[in-house]
Structure 1
Amino acid sequence: MSEPQPDPPAVEPTAPEEQLALDVADFPGGIHGALEAVLMVVDEPVTTPALASALEQPVADVEVALAELEAGYEEQRRGFTLRQVGGGWRMYSRHEYAPVVERFVLDGQQARLTQASLETLAVIAYRQPVSRSRVAAVRGVNVDGVIRTLLTRGLIEELGQDEESTATLYGTTSYFLERLGLQSIDELPALAPYLPEVDVLDEIAEGGRG
Protein backbone atom coordinates (compact mmCIF):
# COMPACT_ATOMS: atom_id res chain seq x y z
CA MET A 1 0.00 0.00 0.00
CA SER A 2 1.50 3.32 -1.05
CA GLU A 3 2.14 6.03 1.49
CA PRO A 4 -0.10 9.11 1.34
CA GLN A 5 1.39 12.03 -0.57
CA PRO A 6 1.80 15.34 1.25
CA ASP A 7 -0.54 18.15 0.24
CA PRO A 8 0.93 20.59 -2.31
CA PRO A 9 2.08 23.88 -0.85
CA ALA A 10 -0.53 26.59 -0.78
CA VAL A 11 -0.19 29.14 -3.57
CA GLU A 12 -0.65 32.73 -2.60
CA PRO A 13 -3.12 34.51 -4.91
CA THR A 14 -1.45 36.93 -7.28
CA ALA A 15 -2.40 40.49 -6.55
CA PRO A 16 -3.59 42.43 -9.59
CA GLU A 17 -0.99 44.70 -11.07
CA GLU A 18 -1.33 48.11 -9.55
CA GLN A 19 -1.97 50.98 -11.94
CA LEU A 20 1.03 53.22 -12.26
CA ALA A 21 0.56 56.53 -10.53
CA LEU A 22 0.14 59.49 -12.85
CA ASP A 23 2.53 62.36 -12.26
CA VAL A 24 1.51 65.42 -14.28
CA ALA A 25 4.88 66.95 -13.47
CA ASP A 26 6.37 64.55 -16.02
CA PHE A 27 4.49 66.32 -18.83
CA PRO A 28 6.08 69.35 -20.53
CA GLY A 29 3.14 71.61 -19.67
CA GLY A 30 2.60 70.24 -16.19
CA ILE A 31 -0.91 70.37 -14.75
CA HIS A 32 -1.88 73.19 -17.09
CA GLY A 33 -0.95 71.23 -20.21
CA ALA A 34 -2.67 68.11 -18.89
CA LEU A 35 -5.88 70.05 -18.29
CA GLU A 36 -5.75 71.55 -21.77
CA ALA A 37 -5.28 68.10 -23.32
CA VAL A 38 -8.36 66.75 -21.55
CA LEU A 39 -10.53 69.81 -22.18
CA MET A 40 -9.73 69.72 -25.90
CA VAL A 41 -11.45 66.35 -26.35
CA VAL A 42 -14.61 66.78 -24.27
CA ASP A 43 -17.93 67.64 -25.86
CA GLU A 44 -19.66 68.81 -22.69
CA PRO A 45 -18.58 70.69 -19.54
CA VAL A 46 -16.49 68.63 -17.10
CA THR A 47 -16.60 69.22 -13.35
CA THR A 48 -13.52 70.13 -11.35
CA PRO A 49 -13.66 66.89 -9.29
CA ALA A 50 -13.82 64.85 -12.52
CA LEU A 51 -10.76 66.64 -13.88
CA ALA A 52 -8.94 66.20 -10.57
CA SER A 53 -9.71 62.48 -10.62
CA ALA A 54 -8.46 62.09 -14.19
CA LEU A 55 -5.21 63.89 -13.39
CA GLU A 56 -4.89 62.36 -9.92
CA GLN A 57 -4.43 65.80 -8.44
CA PRO A 58 -6.01 67.56 -5.46
CA VAL A 59 -9.21 69.42 -6.35
CA ALA A 60 -7.78 72.63 -4.92
CA ASP A 61 -4.76 72.47 -7.22
CA VAL A 62 -6.96 71.87 -10.25
CA GLU A 63 -9.19 74.81 -9.32
CA VAL A 64 -6.17 77.09 -9.17
CA ALA A 65 -4.80 75.80 -12.49
CA LEU A 66 -8.18 76.28 -14.23
CA ALA A 67 -8.41 79.85 -12.99
CA GLU A 68 -4.87 80.51 -14.22
CA LEU A 69 -5.67 79.09 -17.66
CA GLU A 70 -8.81 81.20 -17.92
CA ALA A 71 -6.93 84.36 -16.93
CA GLY A 72 -4.05 83.54 -19.29
CA TYR A 73 -6.33 83.11 -22.30
CA GLU A 74 -8.03 86.40 -21.48
CA GLU A 75 -4.75 88.25 -21.15
CA GLN A 76 -3.37 86.81 -24.40
CA ARG A 77 -6.65 87.48 -26.25
CA ARG A 78 -6.65 84.00 -27.68
CA GLY A 79 -9.32 82.91 -30.15
CA PHE A 80 -10.70 80.56 -27.53
CA THR A 81 -11.44 80.82 -23.84
CA LEU A 82 -12.15 78.58 -20.86
CA ARG A 83 -15.49 79.02 -19.14
CA GLN A 84 -17.34 77.39 -16.28
CA VAL A 85 -20.87 76.62 -17.42
CA GLY A 86 -23.44 74.46 -15.69
CA GLY A 87 -21.02 73.42 -12.99
CA GLY A 88 -18.36 72.25 -15.44
CA TRP A 89 -15.47 73.57 -17.51
CA ARG A 90 -15.15 73.61 -21.30
CA MET A 91 -13.25 75.38 -24.07
CA TYR A 92 -15.27 77.86 -26.19
CA SER A 93 -14.58 80.13 -29.13
CA ARG A 94 -14.46 83.75 -28.04
CA HIS A 95 -17.63 85.64 -28.93
CA GLU A 96 -15.63 88.31 -30.77
CA TYR A 97 -14.79 85.70 -33.41
CA ALA A 98 -18.39 84.61 -33.96
CA PRO A 99 -18.62 86.13 -37.49
CA VAL A 100 -15.61 84.20 -38.82
CA VAL A 101 -16.73 80.97 -37.13
CA GLU A 102 -20.23 81.36 -38.58
CA ARG A 103 -18.84 81.99 -42.06
CA PHE A 104 -16.62 78.92 -41.84
CA VAL A 105 -19.50 76.70 -40.71
CA LEU A 106 -21.90 77.94 -43.39
CA ASP A 107 -19.30 77.71 -46.16
CA GLY A 108 -18.45 74.21 -44.97
CA GLN A 109 -22.08 73.14 -45.21
CA GLN A 110 -22.27 74.43 -48.76
CA ALA A 111 -19.03 72.68 -49.70
CA ARG A 112 -20.28 69.38 -48.33
CA LEU A 113 -23.31 69.26 -50.63
CA THR A 114 -23.06 66.15 -52.76
CA GLN A 115 -23.28 66.15 -56.54
CA ALA A 116 -26.77 64.67 -56.24
CA SER A 117 -27.83 67.52 -53.95
CA LEU A 118 -26.44 70.16 -56.31
CA GLU A 119 -28.17 68.62 -59.32
CA THR A 120 -31.48 68.40 -57.47
CA LEU A 121 -31.11 71.98 -56.25
CA ALA A 122 -30.49 73.15 -59.81
CA VAL A 123 -33.65 71.45 -61.09
CA ILE A 124 -35.74 73.00 -58.33
CA ALA A 125 -34.18 76.44 -58.83
CA TYR A 126 -34.95 76.54 -62.56
CA ARG A 127 -38.34 74.76 -62.54
CA GLN A 128 -39.88 76.03 -59.32
CA PRO A 129 -42.48 75.53 -58.11
CA VAL A 130 -41.91 71.88 -58.88
CA SER A 131 -43.06 68.61 -57.33
CA ARG A 132 -40.84 65.87 -56.00
CA SER A 133 -41.96 63.46 -58.73
CA ARG A 134 -40.99 65.88 -61.46
CA VAL A 135 -37.55 66.40 -59.95
CA ALA A 136 -37.12 62.63 -59.70
CA ALA A 137 -38.20 62.26 -63.33
CA VAL A 138 -35.57 64.74 -64.52
CA ARG A 139 -32.78 63.13 -62.51
CA GLY A 140 -33.93 59.56 -63.12
CA VAL A 141 -33.49 58.57 -59.47
CA ASN A 142 -35.35 58.77 -56.19
CA VAL A 143 -34.75 62.17 -54.59
CA ASP A 144 -36.54 61.78 -51.24
CA GLY A 145 -33.33 61.81 -49.21
CA VAL A 146 -31.84 64.70 -51.16
CA ILE A 147 -35.01 66.76 -50.74
CA ARG A 148 -34.85 66.24 -46.98
CA THR A 149 -31.21 67.36 -46.96
CA LEU A 150 -31.97 70.54 -48.90
CA LEU A 151 -34.92 71.31 -46.62
CA THR A 152 -32.72 70.82 -43.55
CA ARG A 153 -30.07 73.12 -44.98
CA GLY A 154 -32.70 75.80 -45.54
CA LEU A 155 -32.00 75.95 -49.28
CA ILE A 156 -35.50 74.95 -50.40
CA GLU A 157 -38.98 75.18 -48.90
CA GLU A 158 -42.52 73.98 -49.51
CA LEU A 159 -44.60 76.33 -51.66
CA GLY A 160 -48.01 74.71 -51.32
CA GLN A 161 -49.65 71.94 -53.33
CA ASP A 162 -50.40 71.30 -56.96
CA GLU A 163 -54.13 71.83 -57.57
CA GLU A 164 -54.55 68.74 -59.73
CA SER A 165 -52.26 66.14 -58.15
CA THR A 166 -52.15 67.67 -54.61
CA ALA A 167 -48.38 66.97 -54.70
CA THR A 168 -46.22 69.24 -52.58
CA LEU A 169 -44.42 71.89 -54.58
CA TYR A 170 -40.90 73.07 -53.77
CA GLY A 171 -38.91 76.21 -54.46
CA THR A 172 -35.71 77.88 -53.33
CA THR A 173 -35.46 80.12 -50.27
CA SER A 174 -34.10 83.59 -49.60
CA TYR A 175 -31.13 81.88 -47.96
CA PHE A 176 -30.39 80.16 -51.29
CA LEU A 177 -30.35 83.55 -53.01
CA GLU A 178 -28.18 84.98 -50.26
CA ARG A 179 -25.61 82.21 -50.63
CA LEU A 180 -25.43 82.85 -54.39
CA GLY A 181 -25.40 86.64 -53.96
CA LEU A 182 -28.61 87.11 -55.97
CA GLN A 183 -31.57 89.42 -55.47
CA SER A 184 -34.08 87.10 -57.15
CA ILE A 185 -34.24 83.89 -59.15
CA ASP A 186 -34.45 86.02 -62.29
CA GLU A 187 -30.71 86.63 -61.86
CA LEU A 188 -29.85 82.92 -62.12
CA PRO A 189 -27.42 82.07 -64.95
CA ALA A 190 -29.03 81.07 -68.23
CA LEU A 191 -29.00 77.32 -67.68
CA ALA A 192 -32.71 76.72 -68.13
CA PRO A 193 -32.39 75.91 -71.85
CA TYR A 194 -30.38 72.84 -70.91
CA LEU A 195 -33.24 71.39 -68.84
CA PRO A 196 -36.22 69.58 -70.37
CA GLU A 197 -39.11 71.75 -71.44
CA VAL A 198 -42.19 71.78 -69.22
CA ASP A 199 -44.19 69.61 -71.63
CA VAL A 200 -41.43 67.02 -71.80
CA LEU A 201 -41.13 67.12 -68.02
CA ASP A 202 -44.86 66.40 -67.72
CA GLU A 203 -44.60 63.42 -70.07
CA ILE A 204 -41.62 61.99 -68.19
CA ALA A 205 -43.30 62.45 -64.82
CA GLU A 206 -46.57 60.87 -66.01
CA GLY A 207 -44.62 57.96 -67.48
CA GLY A 208 -42.87 57.46 -64.15
CA ARG A 209 -46.21 57.35 -62.32
CA GLY A 210 -47.63 54.81 -64.71
Structure 2
Amino acid sequence: MDLSPVSLLRSRIESLLLVSDEPISAADLARVLDSLNDNETVSTEHVRAELQAIADEYGQRGSGFELREQDDAWRLYTRRANSDVVEAKLLDGTQQRLSRAALETLAVIAYRQPCTRAQVASVRGVNCDGVIRTLSLRGLIADTGETGGAHLYSTTDLFLEQLGLDSLEQLPDLAPLLPDVDDIDD
Protein backbone atom coordinates (compact mmCIF):
# COMPACT_ATOMS: atom_id res chain seq x y z
CA MET A 1 0.00 0.00 0.00
CA ASP A 2 1.39 3.38 -1.03
CA LEU A 3 1.23 5.72 1.95
CA SER A 4 3.41 8.46 0.55
CA PRO A 5 2.34 11.96 1.54
CA VAL A 6 0.22 13.98 -0.86
CA SER A 7 1.25 17.38 -2.11
CA LEU A 8 0.23 20.52 -0.25
CA LEU A 9 -1.86 21.52 -3.28
CA ARG A 10 -3.78 18.24 -3.24
CA SER A 11 -4.27 18.41 0.52
CA ARG A 12 -5.69 21.90 0.24
CA ILE A 13 -7.96 20.97 -2.67
CA GLU A 14 -9.35 18.01 -0.70
CA SER A 15 -9.98 20.26 2.32
CA LEU A 16 -11.78 22.84 0.20
CA LEU A 17 -13.92 20.15 -1.43
CA LEU A 18 -14.84 18.77 1.97
CA VAL A 19 -16.12 22.09 3.32
CA SER A 20 -17.85 23.26 0.13
CA ASP A 21 -21.61 22.97 0.49
CA GLU A 22 -22.10 23.12 -3.26
CA PRO A 23 -20.07 22.15 -6.33
CA ILE A 24 -17.02 24.35 -6.87
CA SER A 25 -15.25 25.10 -10.13
CA ALA A 26 -11.58 24.50 -10.81
CA ALA A 27 -11.24 28.23 -11.50
CA ASP A 28 -12.66 29.13 -8.07
CA LEU A 29 -10.37 26.63 -6.38
CA ALA A 30 -7.37 28.02 -8.29
CA ARG A 31 -8.29 31.57 -7.29
CA VAL A 32 -8.46 30.67 -3.58
CA LEU A 33 -5.32 28.54 -3.69
CA ASP A 34 -3.35 31.11 -5.69
CA SER A 35 -4.11 33.76 -3.06
CA LEU A 36 -2.34 31.57 -0.46
CA ASN A 37 0.63 30.53 -2.56
CA ASP A 38 3.51 33.01 -2.44
CA ASN A 39 5.99 30.94 -4.43
CA GLU A 40 4.25 30.10 -7.70
CA THR A 41 0.99 30.68 -9.51
CA VAL A 42 -1.72 28.01 -9.16
CA SER A 43 -3.40 27.75 -12.55
CA THR A 44 -6.90 26.50 -13.28
CA GLU A 45 -5.42 23.84 -15.56
CA HIS A 46 -3.14 22.58 -12.78
CA VAL A 47 -6.07 22.42 -10.34
CA ARG A 48 -8.26 20.68 -12.96
CA ALA A 49 -5.53 18.07 -13.53
CA GLU A 50 -5.20 17.50 -9.78
CA LEU A 51 -8.99 17.17 -9.44
CA GLN A 52 -9.04 14.55 -12.19
CA ALA A 53 -6.15 12.68 -10.53
CA ILE A 54 -8.03 12.69 -7.21
CA ALA A 55 -11.22 11.45 -8.89
CA ASP A 56 -9.31 8.70 -10.68
CA GLU A 57 -7.58 7.58 -7.50
CA TYR A 58 -10.81 7.46 -5.49
CA GLY A 59 -12.36 5.39 -8.28
CA GLN A 60 -9.44 2.97 -8.52
CA ARG A 61 -9.31 2.50 -4.75
CA GLY A 62 -13.04 1.91 -4.49
CA SER A 63 -13.15 4.61 -1.83
CA GLY A 64 -16.38 5.29 0.07
CA PHE A 65 -16.69 8.59 -1.70
CA GLU A 66 -16.14 9.83 -5.21
CA LEU A 67 -15.28 13.13 -6.80
CA ARG A 68 -17.60 14.03 -9.66
CA GLU A 69 -17.57 16.86 -12.17
CA GLN A 70 -20.60 18.44 -13.77
CA ASP A 71 -20.43 21.64 -15.81
CA ASP A 72 -16.84 22.24 -14.65
CA ALA A 73 -17.94 22.16 -11.00
CA TRP A 74 -16.59 19.47 -8.70
CA ARG A 75 -18.12 17.91 -5.60
CA LEU A 76 -17.51 14.99 -3.26
CA TYR A 77 -20.31 12.43 -3.13
CA THR A 78 -20.76 9.13 -1.38
CA ARG A 79 -20.05 6.24 -3.74
CA ARG A 80 -23.19 5.24 -5.62
CA ALA A 81 -22.56 1.58 -4.79
CA ASN A 82 -22.91 2.47 -1.10
CA SER A 83 -26.20 4.33 -1.49
CA ASP A 84 -28.22 1.64 0.31
CA VAL A 85 -26.17 1.82 3.51
CA VAL A 86 -26.00 5.64 3.42
CA GLU A 87 -29.75 5.84 2.89
CA ALA A 88 -30.34 3.42 5.77
CA LYS A 89 -28.25 5.61 8.08
CA LEU A 90 -29.83 8.89 6.97
CA LEU A 91 -33.36 7.54 7.16
CA ASP A 92 -32.88 5.48 10.31
CA GLY A 93 -36.05 6.23 12.26
CA THR A 94 -36.65 9.50 10.45
CA GLN A 95 -37.94 8.38 7.09
CA GLN A 96 -40.41 10.83 5.60
CA ARG A 97 -42.03 9.55 2.46
CA LEU A 98 -43.70 11.79 -0.05
CA SER A 99 -47.43 11.31 -0.48
CA ARG A 100 -48.85 10.20 -3.81
CA ALA A 101 -50.08 13.77 -4.38
CA ALA A 102 -46.59 15.13 -3.69
CA LEU A 103 -44.99 12.60 -6.05
CA GLU A 104 -47.49 13.43 -8.80
CA THR A 105 -46.96 17.16 -8.35
CA LEU A 106 -43.19 16.73 -8.30
CA ALA A 107 -43.34 14.68 -11.51
CA VAL A 108 -45.43 17.32 -13.29
CA ILE A 109 -43.02 20.08 -12.25
CA ALA A 110 -39.97 18.00 -13.18
CA TYR A 111 -41.22 17.31 -16.70
CA ARG A 112 -42.96 20.64 -17.40
CA GLN A 113 -40.69 23.14 -15.64
CA PRO A 114 -40.87 25.95 -15.22
CA CYS A 115 -44.60 25.82 -14.61
CA THR A 116 -47.27 27.56 -12.57
CA ARG A 117 -49.56 26.14 -9.88
CA ALA A 118 -52.44 26.43 -12.34
CA GLN A 119 -50.58 24.35 -14.91
CA VAL A 120 -49.80 21.68 -12.31
CA ALA A 121 -53.43 21.72 -11.13
CA SER A 122 -54.70 21.34 -14.70
CA VAL A 123 -52.53 18.27 -15.23
CA ARG A 124 -53.43 16.71 -11.87
CA GLY A 125 -57.08 17.84 -11.89
CA VAL A 126 -56.97 19.03 -8.26
CA ASN A 127 -55.74 22.00 -6.25
CA CYS A 128 -52.06 21.56 -5.38
CA ASP A 129 -51.28 24.64 -3.25
CA GLY A 130 -50.53 22.68 -0.05
CA VAL A 131 -48.46 20.10 -1.89
CA ILE A 132 -46.39 22.78 -3.63
CA ARG A 133 -45.80 24.45 -0.28
CA THR A 134 -44.59 21.12 1.19
CA LEU A 135 -42.29 20.38 -1.75
CA SER A 136 -40.87 23.88 -1.52
CA LEU A 137 -40.25 23.53 2.24
CA ARG A 138 -38.43 20.24 1.63
CA GLY A 139 -36.22 21.99 -0.92
CA LEU A 140 -37.28 19.82 -3.86
CA ILE A 141 -38.80 22.70 -5.85
CA ALA A 142 -38.23 26.44 -5.88
CA ASP A 143 -39.96 29.56 -7.11
CA THR A 144 -37.90 30.50 -10.18
CA GLY A 145 -39.74 33.55 -11.49
CA GLU A 146 -43.11 34.84 -12.62
CA THR A 147 -45.26 34.89 -15.70
CA GLY A 148 -48.41 36.98 -15.88
CA GLY A 149 -48.35 37.42 -12.10
CA ALA A 150 -48.15 33.66 -11.41
CA HIS A 151 -45.15 32.07 -9.73
CA LEU A 152 -43.09 29.63 -11.80
CA TYR A 153 -41.78 26.48 -10.12
CA SER A 154 -38.83 24.29 -11.06
CA THR A 155 -37.03 21.42 -9.41
CA THR A 156 -33.85 22.07 -7.44
CA ASP A 157 -30.40 20.54 -7.35
CA LEU A 158 -31.52 18.68 -4.21
CA PHE A 159 -34.23 16.99 -6.31
CA LEU A 160 -31.59 15.75 -8.77
CA GLU A 161 -29.30 14.73 -5.93
CA GLN A 162 -32.06 12.77 -4.17
CA LEU A 163 -32.80 10.88 -7.39
CA GLY A 164 -29.10 10.32 -8.14
CA LEU A 165 -29.32 12.24 -11.41
CA ASP A 166 -26.82 14.64 -12.91
CA SER A 167 -29.39 16.49 -15.02
CA LEU A 168 -33.05 16.53 -15.99
CA GLU A 169 -32.14 14.91 -19.31
CA GLN A 170 -31.67 11.67 -17.36
CA LEU A 171 -35.36 11.54 -16.44
CA PRO A 172 -37.12 8.68 -18.24
CA ASP A 173 -39.04 9.55 -21.40
CA LEU A 174 -42.76 9.73 -20.65
CA ALA A 175 -43.99 10.38 -24.19
CA PRO A 176 -44.98 6.77 -24.87
CA LEU A 177 -47.13 6.73 -21.71
CA LEU A 178 -49.00 10.02 -21.99
CA PRO A 179 -51.51 11.67 -24.31
CA ASP A 180 -50.25 14.72 -26.16
CA VAL A 181 -49.03 16.79 -23.19
CA ASP A 182 -49.13 20.09 -25.11
CA ASP A 183 -52.92 19.76 -25.44
CA ILE A 184 -53.29 19.92 -21.63
CA ASP A 185 -52.66 23.70 -21.56
CA ASP A 186 -55.44 24.40 -24.07
**Structure 1-normalised TM-score?**
0.44
Between structure 1 and structure 2, the one with the greater Rg is 1
